[in-house]
Structure 1
Amino acid sequence: FVFDKQINSLFIRFLLLSDSFALPSPVHPVTVVSTVGSEVVLPCCWKSQLDEAANSIHHIQWVTPPHTVFEQRGEEKWQAAEFGGRLRILEERLGSGDCSLVIKDVQIRDTGKYESFMVVEAVRSKRTRVFLQSVKLSVTDNKSWQSHRPGEDFVIDLWTPYSLTVVFLGKNSSEWSLLWMKEDEQTSERLEKSPRGDKLTLKNLQFSDEGIYKVLDEQGVSVSTIQLSVEGEGPASPPDDEGIDWFGFCYDVETDSCLKEKLSVHLRAGVLYIKMKDIYLY
């Protein structure tokens, strides 16, 4: 606790004594795209703005405007509590100019704009912030399509320790049902959790298991979406993305291509039946 108080005191004094200015930011920030559970790097290089002589002690600050999320000055470090210790800078590369921010186990809530600064010493014990880089981070859930035969096993990756529940929407159902919850490991007799706790296995698949599976985090946000097909005559071909709704519902008849195609098939079949009937009568 003493160390934390010292760090917080240092951070407060920095805010009181600092004069801030920023060089013009890029018109378009660097864009980084990732999926939940991955490790992502937000690029930054301080040598593009400052020379090495002005930074004997490297003082890096990362901000999601207007809040500071990470700060490091020499061996002293601080990061916002909501990141749960998931932020770090590669210290071995800092001296060569690399001040990139590494976010471990990235979450959808981490999505946003990040800005990096180098804090440099100025006259009369004042410090100045020099703008370095702006990064736009976009995090999405993991999406996949799987096909299995009856009797096979189906593996569900939980992706992150923040995963709390797995819900299921059957092929012919309109309501989601709870398949697994972190606090209740015995939701289903056919469901097994891996020794490391990072995967679930649904054993002995049945036709009724076909549908959509979603892994949700503690806030009910989607970690992953899996569309499962169970077919007895071998694996099916992945569905075309066009006209497919990840939530298992068709769109409006006016715009849904897959539904139009189904109607077209039925119409062609009806015409063929009428023609065959006429031939039979003659």
Structure 2
Amino acid sequence: MKTRQWFFVHLHCLLVGSLVDSSSLSSFSSHRPQSVTSRVGNQAVLPCSWKTSLDKESCHIQWATLEDTVFELRGERKWEAEAFVGRVEVPREKLGSGDCSLIIHDVQIGDTGRYESFMVVDGVRDMKTRVFIQSVKLSVFDHKTKLSRRPGGELVLDLYTRHSMRVVFQGRNSSEWSDVWMRGDEDTERLQKDLIQEKLTMKQLKSSDDGTYKVLDEHGLAVSTVQLYVEEKSTALKVHQTLDRQALTDDAARSSCSALLLLSVLVTSFHILRLV
């Protein structure tokens, strides 16, 4: 009798141990989170692999940050957090191979953080239990560019994402930022927004346009930083021509010195031969 009781107690412990809540599994996991990097506006894939194939009609997958749930997929039904609506998915066609990776489209700086994936399964007494699968650290960076344009030319600023709301400018010798464009602004003669692509064109560049441009999202976070140099091509050409002339002068001087040195050696040798 005691042997039978011990068997059932042991079996119960095994069941409870295998269905531990995700928080404890996550906390005691010895594995470091995988690292994924991306840039604003691009796509990020957060890896997740279940030990066996998944039934896409019945599996229940959950992705969450340390603060809140981001995405859930249960059969045909899915749920997305407000900040991720229309931007996240777990491809159902890959579930058969156990791939439950989360794809984040149009990633934003604010998406940076740690994400954890779970499988929700039936536990003891029909209670649902989350089983921890994978931890992923996502880092999202802004775009940085240096450009050179001639006066009268055009600057095309890539906004990268529909979440870009504002462009600000700081002159080369200034410490202040000024607004250049805000989403919803009407086009002007010099500044035009592409109706389809997330691009902004600034025409008829002037020397005063030389400086730093920042594209900001709705939270004021940098989407991109562009260092613009407005330079006269002729000035650069003059510099190169001056350097070339200087190089020619130096070569001529060196040649002249070499010739004088050779002549001096020959004269000295002639005098030595006469004395001998």
Same fold (TM over 0.5): yes
Q: Cα offset for 1:118?
A: 1.0
Percent sequence identity over matched residues?
A: 55
Q: Cα offset for 1:235?
A: 11
Taking structure 1 as the reference length, the TM-score comes to: 0.70
For 1:47-58, what aligned pairs fall within 5 Å after superposition? 47=51, 51-52=52-53, 57-58=58-59
For 1:92-107, what aligned pairs fall within 5 Å after superposition? 92-107=93-108
Q: Quick one: which of 16, 27, 32 aligns to 2:31?
A: 27
- The CA deviation string for residues 115-161 of structure 1, in whole angstroms up to 9 with x for no partner, is 00111223431232221110001112111111111222110011111
Q: Cα offset for 1:183?
A: 2.4
- The CA deviation string for residues 17-74 of structure 1, in whole angstroms up to 9 with x for no partner, is x962426534321111111111111011012xxx348997211110101421111111
For residues 208 and 234 of structure 1, what CA distance do their matches in structure 2 show?
A: 18
Contact 1:164 1:216 in 2 (8 A): yes
Contact 1:171 1:212 in 2 (8 A): yes
Residue in 1 aligned with 2:205? Answer: 205
Calculate the aligned-residue CA RMSD, in Å: 2.3
Taking a change above 3 Å as real, the CA distance of residues 99 and 193 of structure 1, as seen in their structure-2 partners, is same
For residues 152 and 209 of structure 2, what CA distance do their matches in structure 1 show?
A: 11
Greater C-alpha Rg: 2
For residues 56 and 194 of structure 2, what CA distance do their matches in structure 1 show?
A: 48
Residue in 1 aligned with 2:71? Answer: 70
For residues 55 and 102 of structure 1, what CA distance do their matches in structure 2 show?
A: 17
Residue in 2 aligned with 1:9? Answer: none
Asked whether 1:191 is paired with 2:191, we answer: yes
Q: Quick one: which of 46, 49, 71 aligns to 2:50?
A: 46
SS at match of 2:135: strand
SS at match of 1:46: coil
- The CA deviation string for residues 78-130 of structure 1, in whole angstroms up to 9 with x for no partner, is 11112232111111101111101011111111111000011122343123222
Taking structure 2 as the reference length, the TM-score comes to: 0.72
The one-letter amino acid of 1:42's match is L
Contact 1:148 1:235 in 2 (8 A): no
Q: Which runs of 5+ in 2 are unaligned?
A: 1-18, 237-276
For residues 48 and 29 of structure 2, what CA distance do their matches in structure 1 show?
A: 13
Taking a change above 3 Å as real, the CA distance of residues 125 and 155 of structure 1, as seen in their structure-2 partners, is same
SS at match of 1:95: helix
Residue in 2 aligned with 1:164? Answer: 165
For residues 25 and 201 of structure 1, what CA distance do their matches in structure 2 show?
A: 50
Contact 2:87 2:104 in 1 (8 A): yes
For residues 183 and 53 of structure 1, what CA distance do their matches in structure 2 show?
A: 45
Q: Which moves more between the two structures, 56-65 or 38-47?
A: 56-65
Taking a change above 3 Å as real, the CA distance of residues 200 and 54 of structure 1, as seen in their structure-2 partners, is closer
Matched positions, count: 215
For 1:109-120, what aligned pairs fall within 5 Å after superposition? 109-120=110-121
For 1:1-282, what aligned pairs fall within 5 Å after superposition? 20-21=21-22, 22=25, 24-47=28-51, 51-52=52-53, 57-186=58-187, 188-233=188-233
SS at match of 2:152: coil
SS at match of 2:97: coil
Greater helix share, structure number: 2
Contact 1:155 1:201 in 2 (8 A): yes
The one-letter amino acid of 1:223's match is V
Contact 1:152 1:205 in 2 (8 A): yes
